[in-house]
Amino acid sequence: MNKIPVIIDCDPGVDDSYAIALAKSHPNYEIVAITPVEGNVPAVFTRHNALCLRETFEMEHTKIAYGATEPLVRPYFRDASGTHGEGGIGGIKLPDPTRAPEEKPAWDVIYEEAVKYNGELVLFAVGPLTNIATALRKYPDLPKYIKRFVIMGGGTFGNVTATSETAEFNIWVDPTAAKEVFEKLEVYMVGLNATHAAAVEVKDFDEMLEITASGKNKQSDYLNKLTKFSKENSFERGQDNNVIHDALAIAADMNEDVVKFEKFYVYVEDREVENVGETVIDLKGESGKAPNCWVAMKVDQPLFVKMMKDMCKYYAEM
């Protein structure tokens, strides 16, 4: 069977790392590119981490194409380094990368790969949507080449508690980009209501630690350190790292039983008002507008946790 070409636009990132590891472990995916964007930490770190992760997970055929360093309009004035630790991956020091990124920027690579695979490309975005919006601005016909577009972002409640209980971080960092993306692409939105429903409990983290500790390779070593950081830096520390947000977006595409989507009309508030960055979901169908977004509404948490453990076993047994 031909593998499904995928691109992961991300801001690695602790949960972004799990998402990349999960996608790489899937036999049906070919990760043709990873395109880092500003987000959890400044782009200098997300870029470096993307290069390092390519080599840690031995993704020889994956292009790394650098994306935006700043949101389209808003200044980049907050990062989540508290949640993601120094450097954005839990303070874990990976070996310096030996391969360089592509010359071309993220938006050009996204478009070129989408055209190359002629409508078969699955595009994941698990960070702010600056790169995706930039690609759509430069290449208005990009949507016709995208098979499916899945994001981790938005949802029925927020997590940017400093300014809003309604905005989720990825959307809030660049609401202008998100607004444009939701207007131009059909989005499969795996939001906070879904990711929190899939939160990983301590006992499951302990099993993931045990499995990854049994692996004698760099992939398992990294996953072991990442899991230790996630467990220690979770709710009890005021963070939500036991909510492995981005991995759920990948899992939702790998196995349709993990997440149940329902279609609603959704728009993004991009004005500088109190709920800036909110994905406003017309749950009651009162807007009179046609549904444009598949919203993750139900989650099979045990199945998601099993997929995460199976991913750990995949690497441990390599």
Q: Whole-angstrom Cα distance, residue 264 to residue 282?
A: 6
| Strand pairing report for 4-10 and 29-36 | parallel
13 touches Ca ion by CB under 5 A? yes
Q: List the one residue from 17, 35, 40, 224 that touches ligand RIB (CB under 6 A).
A: 40
| Positions marked active-site | 245
36 touches Ca ion by CB under 5 A? no
Shortest separation between residue 245's beta carbon and ligand RIB, angstroms: 4
246 touches ligand RIB by CB under 6 A? yes
The answer to whether 125 touches 9, Cβ cutoff 8 Å, is yes
Phi, psi (deg, nearest 5) at residue 151: -120, 155
170 touches ligand RIB by CB under 6 A? yes
Q: What is the end-to-end Cα distance of the chain in Å, rounded?
A: 22
126 touches Ca ion by CB under 5 A? yes
Within 10 angstroms of residue 112's Cβ, the number of other Cβ atoms is: 18
Which residue in the shown chain puts its C-beta closest to ligand RIB?
A: 169
Q: Of 17 and 25, which CB lies nearer to ligand RIB in the complex structure?
A: 17
Phi, psi (deg, nearest 5) at residue 190: -95, 95
Q: What Rg, from alpha-carbon coordinates, does the chain have?
A: 18
Secondary structure class of 17 (helix, strand, coil): helix
Shortest separation between residue 218's beta carbon and ligand RIB, angstroms: 22
Q: List the one residue from 25, 32, 37, 39 that touches ligand RIB (CB under 6 A).
A: 39
Binding site for ligand RIB (CB under 6 A): 11, 13, 15-16, 39-40, 80, 126-127, 152, 159, 168-170, 245-246
Binding site for Ca ion (CB under 5 A): 11, 13, 16, 126-127, 246
